[in-house]
Amino acid sequence: MNPDRQGKAEEAARYSKRQFLHCARFRPQQKDVLSALLLDDERYTLEQAERMLIDFYRQPVP
């Protein structure tokens, strides 16, 4: 471990809504959902975006 980082938690990379919508990791349907859920002026980690998708898909259909 790098001595400068010792004792500090590494911060995960954060991405904009636009970056998520253009990445190859998500299917087109998932990108549609992310487009509705993510805010334009916020940045999210990959884990946050994936968690938002999971939570969305687990919602009961009325």
CB 17 within 8 A of CB 35: yes
Q: In whole angstroms, how far apart are CA 60 and each of 26, 32, 42?
A: 22, 19, 27
Domain residue limits, the chain: 15-58
pTM of the model: 0.77
pLDDT digits (tens, 9 = 90+) for 2-59: 555 554 456 889 999 999 999 999 999 999 999 999 999 999 999 999 999 999 999 9
pLDDT for 41 = 96
pLDDT for 3 = 54
Q: What are 42's two structure tokens?
A: 């916020």
